[in-house]
Homo-oligomer: A and B are copies of this chain.
């Protein structure tokens, strides 16, 4: 504020300071000056406004996903005989959540009961006599509680006996070709509804122009049917550049990404889901330790005399994880909401919590 003494403060308050300017009249200097001005203007408009869209208001997606798998397959194994598999058999968990598993290969151990049997042979279980086995011992990598006896596992090998679900599962003979070969033709209907609460924008991946009869026979194809929400399992795996039969044999995890990034300043018509697929578990060849995806589950039965038996299934298959993401930008819609009377309308509907949802990107996607 330059030289304002306290006594002249009142007068000083109404002073206005400005720089003294020099005007240089030269075509060269002037051209350079204008060029620099233009570049700055170009940067602000071109990059900040058009590319970064910094002037726009943003909001993050709230999403809900349900899935439904269709198809039946047939297997013929020595353990189970001929058997038809439908969705209630191979789809685990059955709830149609955003993550679902399709069983494609398995090792079945039927008729297990709580009893005793010799351990599977390995360095720590092979024994010569009972003195090699410790009663009550419970190795975390073993299959049960040792009874202290040494029993014939085969004609040539003796192993320590364990109390366990017997007979034990022998999981070294995984079928080389996935048992449920038909799984590649199974289809899944993915229903996905999204909400951008700040803009009161709702949309689902079943677009308005899709009708029931189309939905009954369509199948997603990036070129011919990009809007069909029904996906053939093999097609999804192929788009992720994987081979279905290879993946089906040892299992894996496949991500189904649905991208809802939109610019609401354009007509709603342009805001639609974009699908992409990617294998999520790793199969780097040089680090191929513990590959694939499998888990064990059991079906429990009771015999007529009340004893419990179970069928143990080591299930190999593909877990599909639907991942929804998206941020929406808009300046027009935002002005509508902020400046017009509709604001009151929205306020009345208690959407006050919505101002914070952009801090929670992605959150609502998971279940």
Q: Which residue numbers of A lie inside 8 Å of B, CB to CB? A: 2, 11, 13-27, 29-34, 58, 60, 62-64, 66, 68, 70-74, 82-84, 86-89, 92-99, 101, 114, 138, 140-145, 163-165, 182, 185-187, 189, 191, 193, 195, 202, 204, 206-208, 210-212, 215-216, 253, 255, 257, 259, 261, 274, 276, 278, 280-282, 284, 286-287, 289-290, 293-302, 304, 309-310, 312, 319, 321, 323-327, 350, 353, 356-357, 359-367
- On chain B, the residues within 8 Å of A261 by CB distance are 353, 356, 359
Name the one of B99, B164, B287 contacting A204, with C-beta atoms under 8 angstroms. B287
User: Known contacts A208-B286, A327-B356; can you find 16 more A-B pairs with CB under 8 A?
Assistant: A13-B34, A19-B21, A60-B359, A60-B360, A64-B255, A72-B164, A74-B145, A74-B163, A84-B163, A86-B164, A86-B165, A202-B284, A212-B290, A323-B364, A326-B356, A366-B366
Report how far A323 CA is from B356 CA in the complex, Å.
Answer: 14
Q: Assess A367 versus B98: contact at CB under 8 Å? Given A88-B310, A114-B84, A356-B325.
A: yes
The quantity of this chain's copies bound in the complex is: 3
Report how far A259 CA is from B74 CA in the complex, Å.
Answer: 43
- On chain B, the residues within 8 Å of A289 by CB distance are 206, 210-212, 215
Report how far A238 CA is from B140 CA in the complex, Å.
Answer: 19
Name the one of B60, B70, B282, B319 contacting A95, with C-beta atoms under 8 angstroms. B319
- On chain B, the residues within 8 Å of A88 by CB distance are 165, 296-298, 310, 312
